[in-house]
């Protein structure tokens, strides 16, 4: 049985049960993940690697928050806005979170219409997603500006542990960069969808390869990942 | 055992993956410089890695000169000595070994061995090399900036790495961190290619459990790298912030020259955790491809199937998994919670189990094999011996009570040079002697090769065996000069002189090797096709060296695993992976019984 997989095959390799079956499936002929295109497999593995980066950032932030002897500033007070004379904690962050999560919805719809070959709807939904993303980055820029005006710097701040500012700029900056790259990615792909590159089999400028609508889903994977990371940042940095 | 006779109809799964459209280069520049062909990228990677490795070799000579003959060389100052050890270590581990195994051998062998035309994303693969080259150039630039390269030790421990007392504090450390970040970005682009090519782009009949162990080793090592390098990346970015922006991620409150620095509240141990979360898997990133390659060398040159193929695969996977839960055994003296030591010592010793399985299987592969003492085989055997030696001292250091007194002595230096310096390098040499004919169409010169082997192998022991002893008597590592110390006898200095002389001679042998590489390219004996009579796919290409696209019109089809050597009843002593069962020639006298497949 198992030996047959290694040497000559006179018939289709029979599929064993249990754990051996799982191994046989993964090690099966030609592809480990059936019907998963190369690009999608690559994006998943990249996101796994990127998960480790964000995990290390967040764990490091929690470690310094614990190692510093100076009290940690209260995020609810720091990230509050006075609107109409009323001080509302975390209001901007709440709006940003709402926007980013909504953008995941429009992205998912774009993927659906992409596979349905509906060029116009796909492109518009991707542009809407990009607009949500851009407004998220814009609000983040507003937040940064506000905090910098209030005296927050990477090396110190008026309210307590200097690691507050360090971690804040580092983590939100790194996440914001991811969102910005996603927006650029979305715009580029939306343009190609709009132009019909994936129907006319036009070759890519850099890679000289033909693309297809799977790229919309691959973009979507990245986008959903960036949203998911934000949820963790929101929970661990802002709510804690 | 499976009986296979020429009458059997061979079943083949239908093709799942469409044949890819390759980018066809038209000019010299797109063919050899901005090349998207994995084989050219592999050679670019290898040449760059070997070139920067030679720089690190020269650095080690200078270190040895200082240790062997202190007060003799005026051009080696204490600061320069620290810079030498730092750059030597960093270059050898990351820019030579990692790049050569994964970027060099990975790029060359993965597509050929799994029967693909190229990596799945050739353009990204090309970018990977150029970002790697940029990382190397940034690293080299740090030699020339004011203050020179960093002298923080390859571990770059804060707080000293970014404080004024450490050489290279002004620019060297910045360039080092930038270079590491670039390396990781470049590597990620290449690594995604290697993993996806192995997972999704194999040819018909090539199941994962039929792949040569070389591919398994490189594949698992790449996964480790993709998951371990993020920790180093994060550490590098945060240290860069500490150095440039004055943040205090890793910096506690520090008084320097009677003056309190602006830092405070950070955790130096945090960096050590991040560094070693990368650093320990890194050991296996350079060891696993070595394990894989050496398995193939032993099998080919002993004309015998690898013993326990499945166990070998699982051992690679298990070692890879365990390597993520042992990192703090580098930190027993760091001041972390002592209870951690129990856990990490236990997990460290557990790794010895799959590793021992591999060593037994290598030896059992040789047992009653038809051993040809070719150069690759000599290096493979030398690897087994060296790896066992280095591995056993690892068991010493993995135990907390033994590690604490031995920590930061020459014993540690001897241990890690044996296990992750000499051992993988021996595999690299063996692999180069083995695959050089495939890459160039010519054999390497035998006489120079034998000189190179014996001097390197014996010399390595003359260098590192005495070093264990130095460590036992308490000679510390990373010291510019020991001077007169009560507990270190004067004979230690004589031993150091001996080691230095041995190191210089071994270094010279490497120059002979490099000369051989260049000389044989033009004057070497022309190789026949498949000179080692190997079964794996890389030797079965229509042309040798393989042409662009590797396979001509039709992709190869795989009928068997990569280890059908000396199959009873077959006329030839090897059956290539792409040889159909009905084409197997039967030896005289076996016509009735047919061929029995070798796998058991």
CATH number, position B492: 1.20.210.10
Mean pLDDT value of segment B267-296: 96
Q: Do A29 and B274 touch (CB under 8 A)?
A: no
Shared domain check, A206 and A87: yes
Q: How many CB atoms neighbour CB A231 within 10 A?
A: 12
Shared domain check, A2 and A105: no
- pLDDT-above-70 percentage for chain B: 97
Q: Do A56 and B274 touch (CB under 8 A)?
A: yes
Domain that holds residue B497: 37-596
Q: Which of A38, A163, A168 to mutate to test the interface with B (most CBs of B within 10 A)?
A: A38
Residue B56: band (very low, low, confident or very high) from pLDDT cuts 50, 70, 90: very high
Cα–Cα distance measured from residue B120 to residue B549, given in angstroms and rounded to the nearest whole number: 12
**In this model, does residue B112 exceed pLDDT 70?**
yes
Q: Say how many domains are in chain B.
A: 1
Q: Do B265 and A45 touch (CB under 8 A)?
A: no
Chain B residues with CB-CB distance to A211 below 8 A: none
Mean pLDDT value of segment A195-213: 87
Quote the ipTM score.
0.93
Q: Which residue of B has its CA nearest to A56?
A: B231
> How would you class B28 by CB atoms within 10 Å of its CB: exposed for 0-12, middle for 13-18, buried for 19 or more?
exposed
Residue B522 lies inside a defined structural domain of this protein: yes
As beta bridge partners, residue B570 has B586
Chain B residues with CB-CB distance to A34 below 8 A: 16
Shared domain check, A166 and A62: yes
Residue B569 lies inside a defined structural domain of this protein: yes
Shared domain check, A56 and A28: no
Q: How many CA atoms lie within 13 A of B282 on its CB side?
A: 27
Shared domain check, A98 and A16: no
Q: Do A207 and B23 touch (CB under 8 A)?
A: yes
Shared domain check, A48 and A30: no
Q: Which residue of A has its CA nearest to B560?
A: A7
pLDDT of residue B3: 37
**In this model, does residue A7 exceed pLDDT 50?**
no
Pair B193, B103: CB distance under 8 Å = no
Q: How many CB atoms neighbour CB B8 within 10 A?
A: 19
Chain B residues with CB-CB distance to A208 below 8 A: 23
Q: Which of B12, B19, B192, B309 to mutate to test the interface with A (most CBs of A within 10 A)?
A: B192
Q: Which residue has the tokens 């390597």?
A: B323
* Residue B592 three-state SS: coil
pLDDT of residue A12: 58
pLDDT tens sequence across B60-100: 999 999 999 998 999 999 999 999 999 999 999 999 999 99
Residues in chain A: 240
pLDDT tens sequence across B525-550: 999 999 999 999 999 999 999 999 99
Chain B residues with CB-CB distance to A70 below 8 A: 264-265
Q: How many CA atoms lie within 13 A of A221 on its CB side?
A: 16
Query: Higher model confidence: residue B594 or residue B100?
Result: B100
Cα–Cα distance measured from residue B242 to residue B34, given in angstroms and rounded to the nearest whole number: 37
Shared domain check, A136 and A31: no
Shared domain check, A102 and A160: yes
Q: Burial code of B237-258, b = ≥16 C-beta within 10 A, e = fewer?
A: bbbbbbbeebbbbbbbebeeee
pLDDT of residue B176: 97
The alpha carbon of residue B250 is apart from the nearest alpha carbon of chain A, in Å, by 8
Residue B340 lies inside a defined structural domain of this protein: yes
The alpha carbon of residue A130 is apart from the nearest alpha carbon of chain B, in Å, by 25
Pair B555, B203: CB distance under 8 Å = yes
pLDDT of residue B596: 58
Vertex B70: Cα angle to B69 and B76 (nearest 5) = 105
Average pLDDT, chain B: 92
Angle at which helices B309-322 and B338-366 cross, to 10°: 160
pLDDT tens sequence across B387-418: 999 999 999 999 999 999 999 999 999 999 99
pLDDT of residue B16: 80
Q: Do A10 and B226 touch (CB under 8 A)?
A: no
Query: Higher model confidence: residue B427 or residue B340?
Result: B427
Angle at which helices A214-233 and A119-149 cross, to 10°: 30
Shared domain check, A132 and A225: yes
pTM summary value:
0.94
Which candidate from B11, B267, B600 shows the least CB-CB separation from A11? B11
pLDDT of residue A6: 44
Q: How far is CA B294 from the centre of its chain?
A: 12
pLDDT tens sequence across B165-194: 899 999 999 999 999 999 999 999 999 999
Residue B197 lies inside a defined structural domain of this protein: yes
Chain A residues with CB-CB distance to B582 below 8 A: none
**How many residue pairs from chains A and B have C-beta atoms closer than 8 A?**
191
pLDDT tens sequence across A107-157: 999 999 999 999 999 999 999 999 999 999 999 999 999 999 999 999 999
Nearest CA to B21 out of B117, B162, B147, B109 is that of B117
Pair B191, B166: CB distance under 8 Å = no
Q: Which of B7, B234, B305 to mutate to test the interface with A (most CBs of A within 10 A)?
A: B234
Angle at which helices B172-200 and B107-114 cross, to 10°: 10
Chain A residues with CB-CB distance to B229 below 8 A: 49
Chain A residues with CB-CB distance to B599 below 8 A: 3, 6-7
* Beta-carbon contacts of residue B314 (< 8 Å; ≥ 6 apart): B354
Which candidate from B229, B277, B599 shows the least CB-CB separation from A6? B599
Which candidate from A64, A70, A165 shows the least CB-CB separation from B270? A64
Q: What CATH number is attached to the domain comprising A121?
A: 1.20.120.80
Cα–Cα distance measured from residue B168 to residue B385, given in angstroms and rounded to the nearest whole number: 39
Q: Which helix (H) or strand (E) holds B3?
A: strand B3-4
pLDDT of residue B2: 41
* Token representation of residue B141: 């630039």
- Write the DSSP assignment of B216-264 as a string of letters: HHHHHHHHHHHHHHHHHHHHHHHHHHHHHT---SS----EETTEE-S--
Q: How far is CA B410 from the centre of its chain?
A: 23
Q: Do A7 and B121 touch (CB under 8 A)?
A: no
Chain B residues with CB-CB distance to A12 below 8 A: 11, 13
Mean pLDDT value of segment B593-599: 56
Nearest CA to B429 out of B509, B521, B346 is that of B509
Q: Which residue of B has its CA nearest to A208?
A: B23
The alpha carbon of residue B220 is apart from the nearest alpha carbon of chain A, in Å, by 13
Cα–Cα distance measured from residue B319 to residue B354, given in angstroms and rounded to the nearest whole number: 6
Residue B20 lies inside a defined structural domain of this protein: no
Radius of gyration of chain A (CA): 23
Chain A residues with CB-CB distance to B201 below 8 A: 31, 38
Distances (CA, A) of B158 to A165, B93, B192, B195: 20, 20, 31, 34
Q: Burial code of B464-482, b = ≥16 C-beta within 10 A, e = fewer?
A: bebbbebbeebbbbeebeb
Q: How many CB atoms neighbour CB B359 within 10 A?
A: 16
Mean pLDDT value of segment A164-171: 96
As beta bridge partners, residue B574 has B565
* Residue A164 three-state SS: helix
- Write the DSSP assignment of B524-587 as a string of letters: SPBPPSSTT---SGGGGSSSSS--TTSSSSS-----S-S--BS-TTBSSSB--TT--GGGPPBP
Residue B8 lies inside a defined structural domain of this protein: no
Q: Which residue has the tokens 């190789």?
A: B527
Q: Do B248 and A64 touch (CB under 8 A)?
A: yes
Residue B26 lies inside a defined structural domain of this protein: no
pLDDT of residue B10: 58
Alpha helix locations (H) across B407-541?
410-417, 423-440, 446-472, 491-523
Q: Say how many domains are in chain A.
A: 2
Chain A residues with CB-CB distance to B123 below 8 A: 206-207, 209
Domain that holds residue A97: 37-239
Q: Do A48 and B262 touch (CB under 8 A)?
A: no
Chain A residues with CB-CB distance to B236 below 8 A: none
Dihedral of CA B301/B303/B304/B310: which sign? positive
* Token representation of residue B182: 């670039």
pLDDT of residue A29: 84
Query: Higher model confidence: residue B507 or residue A21?
Result: B507
Mean pLDDT value of segment B507-519: 96
Read off φ and ψ for residue A61, nearest 5 degrees: -60, -45
Among the listed ranges B79-93, B336-350, B439-453, B514-528, which one has the minimum average pLDDT value?
B336-350
Residue B29 lies inside a defined structural domain of this protein: no
Q: How far is CA B597 from the centre of its chain?
A: 33
Shared domain check, A104 and A2: no
Nearest CA to B132 out of B182, B98, B192 is that of B182
Q: Which residue of A has its CA nearest to B125?
A: A207
Mean pLDDT value of segment B205-225: 95
Q: Which helix (H) or strand (E) holds A80?
A: strand A80-83
pLDDT of residue B23: 83
Shared domain check, A183 and A70: yes
Nearest CA to B469 out of B393, B383, B387, B401 is that of B393
Mean pLDDT value of segment B191-207: 94
pLDDT of residue B12: 72
* Beta-carbon contacts of residue B328 (< 8 Å; ≥ 6 apart): B273, B276, B336, B340, B341, B343, B344
The alpha carbon of residue B445 is apart from the nearest alpha carbon of chain A, in Å, by 36
* Beta-carbon contacts of residue B386 (< 8 Å; ≥ 6 apart): B418, B419, B422, B423, B426, B460
Q: Do B8 and A8 touch (CB under 8 A)?
A: yes
Shared domain check, A85 and A24: no
Pair B251, B268: CB distance under 8 Å = yes
Residue B592: band (very low, low, confident or very high) from pLDDT cuts 50, 70, 90: low
């Amino acid at each position: 049985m198992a030996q047959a997989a290694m040497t000559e095959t006179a018939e289709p390799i029979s599929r064993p049960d249990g754990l051996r079956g799982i191994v046989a499936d993964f090690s099966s002929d030609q592809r480990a993940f059936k019907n998963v295109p190369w690009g999608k497999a690559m994006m998943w593995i990249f996101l796994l690697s990127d998960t480790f980066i964000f995990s290390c950032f967040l764990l490091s932030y929690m470690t310094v928050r614990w190692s510093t002897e100076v009290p940690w500033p209260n995020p609810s007070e720091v990230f509050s806005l006075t609107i109409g004379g009323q001080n509302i904690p975390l209001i901007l962050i709440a709006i940003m979170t709402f926007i980013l999560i909504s953008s995941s919805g429009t992205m998912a719809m774009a993927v659906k219409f992409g596979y349905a070959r509906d060029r116009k709807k796909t492109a518009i939904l991707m542009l809407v997603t990009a607009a949500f993303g851009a407004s998220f980055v814009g609000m983040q820029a507003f937040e940064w500006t506000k905090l910098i005006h209030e005296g927050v710097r990477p090396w110190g701040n008026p309210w307590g542990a200097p690691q507050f500012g360090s971690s804040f700029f580092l983590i939100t900056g790194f996440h914001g960069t991811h969102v910005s790259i996603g927006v650029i990615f979305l715009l580029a792909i939306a343009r190609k969808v709009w132009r019909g590159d994936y129907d006319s089999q036009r070759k890519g400028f850099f890679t000289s390869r033909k693309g297809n609508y799977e790229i919309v889903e691959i973009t979507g994977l990245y986008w959903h990942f960036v949203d998911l990371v934000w949820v963790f940042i929101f929970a661990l940095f802002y709510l804690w | 055992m499976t009986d296979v006779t020429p009458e059997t109809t061979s079943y083949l799964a239908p093709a799942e993956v469409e044949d890819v459209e390759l980018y066809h280069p038209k000019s010299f520049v797109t063919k050899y410089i901005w090349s998207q062909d994995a084989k050219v990228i592999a050679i670019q990677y290898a040449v760059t890695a070997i070139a920067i490795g030679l720089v690190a070799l020269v650095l080690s000579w200078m270190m040895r000169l200082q240790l062997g003959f202190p007060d003799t060389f005026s051009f080696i100052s204490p600061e320069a000595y620290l810079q030498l050890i730092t750059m030597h270590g960093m270059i050898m581990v990351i820019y030579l070994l990692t790049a050569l195994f994964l970027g060099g051998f990975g790029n060359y062998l993965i597509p050929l061995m799994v029967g693909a035309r190229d990596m799945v994303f050739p353009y990204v693969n090309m970018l990977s090399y150029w970002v790697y080259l940029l990382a190397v150039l940034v690293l080299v630039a740090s030699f020339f900036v004011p203050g020179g390269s960093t002298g923080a030790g390859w571990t770059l421990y804060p707080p000293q790495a970014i404080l004024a007392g450490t050489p290279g504090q002004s620019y060297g450390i910045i360039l080092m961190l930038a270079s590491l970040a670039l390396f990781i970005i470049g590597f990620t682009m290449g690594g995604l290619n290697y993993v996806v090519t192995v997972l999704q782009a194999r040819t018909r009949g090539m199941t994962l459990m039929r792949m040569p162990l070389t591919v398994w080793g490189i594949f698992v090592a790449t996964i480790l790298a993709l998951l371990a390098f993020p920790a180093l990346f994060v550490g590098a970015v945060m240290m860069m912030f500490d150095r440039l922006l004055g943040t205090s991620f890793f910096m506690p409150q520090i008084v320097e020259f009677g003056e309190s620095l602006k830092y405070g509240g950070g955790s130096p141990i945090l960096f050590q955790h991040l560094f070693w979360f990368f650093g320990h898997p890194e050991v296996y990133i350079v060891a696993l491809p070595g394990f894989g390659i050496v398995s193939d060398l032993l099998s080919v040159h002993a004309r015998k199937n690898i013993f326990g193929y499945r166990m070998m695969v699982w051992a690679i996977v298990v070692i890879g998994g365990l390597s993520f839960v042992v990192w703090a055994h580098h930190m027993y003296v760091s001041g972390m919670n002592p209870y951690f030591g129990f856990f990490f010592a236990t997990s460290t010793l557990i790794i010895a189990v799959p590793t021992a399985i591999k060593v037994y299987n290598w030896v059992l592969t040789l047992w009653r094999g038809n051993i040809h003492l070719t150069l690759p085989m000599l290096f493979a055997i030398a690897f087994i011996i060296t790896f066992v030696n280095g591995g056993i001292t690892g068991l010493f250091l993995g135990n907390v009570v033994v590690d604490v007194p031995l920590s930061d002595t020459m014993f540690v230096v001897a241990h890690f040079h044996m296990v992750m310096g000499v051992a993988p390098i021996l595999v690299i040499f063996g692999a180069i002697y083995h695959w050089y004919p495939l890459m160039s169409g010519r054999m390497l010169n035998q006489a120079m090769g034998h000189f190179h082997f014996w001097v390197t192998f014996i010399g390595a022991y003359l260098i590192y065996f005495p070093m264990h002893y130095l460590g036992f008597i308490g000679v510390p590592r990373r010291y510019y000069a020991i001077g007169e110390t009560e507990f270190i006898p004067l004979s230690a200095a004589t031993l150091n002189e001996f080691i230095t002389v041995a190191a210089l001679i071994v270094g010279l042998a490497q120059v002979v090797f490099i000369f051989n590489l260049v000389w044989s390219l033009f004057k070497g004996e022309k190789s026949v096709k498949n000179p080692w009579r190997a079964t794996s796919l890389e030797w079965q290409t229509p042309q040798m060296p393989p042409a662009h696209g590797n396979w001509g019109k039709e992709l190869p089809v795989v009928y068997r695993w990569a280890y059908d050597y000396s199959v009873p009843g077959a006329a030839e002593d090897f059956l290539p992976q792409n040889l159909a069962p009905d084409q197997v020639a039967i030896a005289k006298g076996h016509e009735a019984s047919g061929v029995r497949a070798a796998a058991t």
